[in-house]
Amino acid sequence: MALDGPHGATHEPTMLVYKIFHAAEFQAFTHQGHSLGAPVDLADGYIHLSTATQLPGTLSRHFAGKDGLHLLALDSRALDALRWEPSRGGDLFPHLYRELRANDVLWSRPLPLGPCGHDIGDIT
């Protein structure tokens, strides 16, 4: 897919980044149409996001054994106020320095908890 960029056509595909919400957070987000994130996001001053590669580590570290989660996919290129900053192990993580809006979400779905952990499925 060719995209017009500032220096002509590029061939960069959409890079999805992901937000995980607990059921109550997801319900509030869908009802209000926006969110400042989970309590950890409010405390840190930005909304924590993950790439597809980072998602399993985020789930095991912060959401192990938690049921009722929802996964939201966002196009990183469409998010103004997105910064890539060092975090866990020095990896660059996407941090959103504004509210998350309903129109930022490309798709969302439940993130079921199975006997071996969360079933991410095909997120590409």
pLDDT tens profile 66-90 = 999 999 999 999 999 999 999 878 8
pLDDT recorded at residue 60? 92
Q: How many CB atoms lie within 10 A of CB 78?
A: 11
60 CA to centre of own chain: 15
Domain count within the chain: 1
Name the maximum alpha-carbon separation found in the chain.
49
Is position 108 within any domain?
yes
Is position 120 within any domain?
no
- Cβ atoms of residues 51 and 84 within 8 Å: no
Give me the domain span that covers residue 34. 12-115
Rounded to whole angstroms, the Cα distance separating 4 from 111 reads 34
Residues whose CB falls within 8 Å of the CB of residue 72, separated by 6 or more in sequence, listed in order: 18, 19, 20, 21, 26, 100, 105, 107, 108
Is position 75 within any domain?
yes
pLDDT tens profile 37-77 = 999 999 999 999 999 999 999 999 999 989 999 999 999 99
CATH number for the domain that contains residue 53: 3.20.170.20
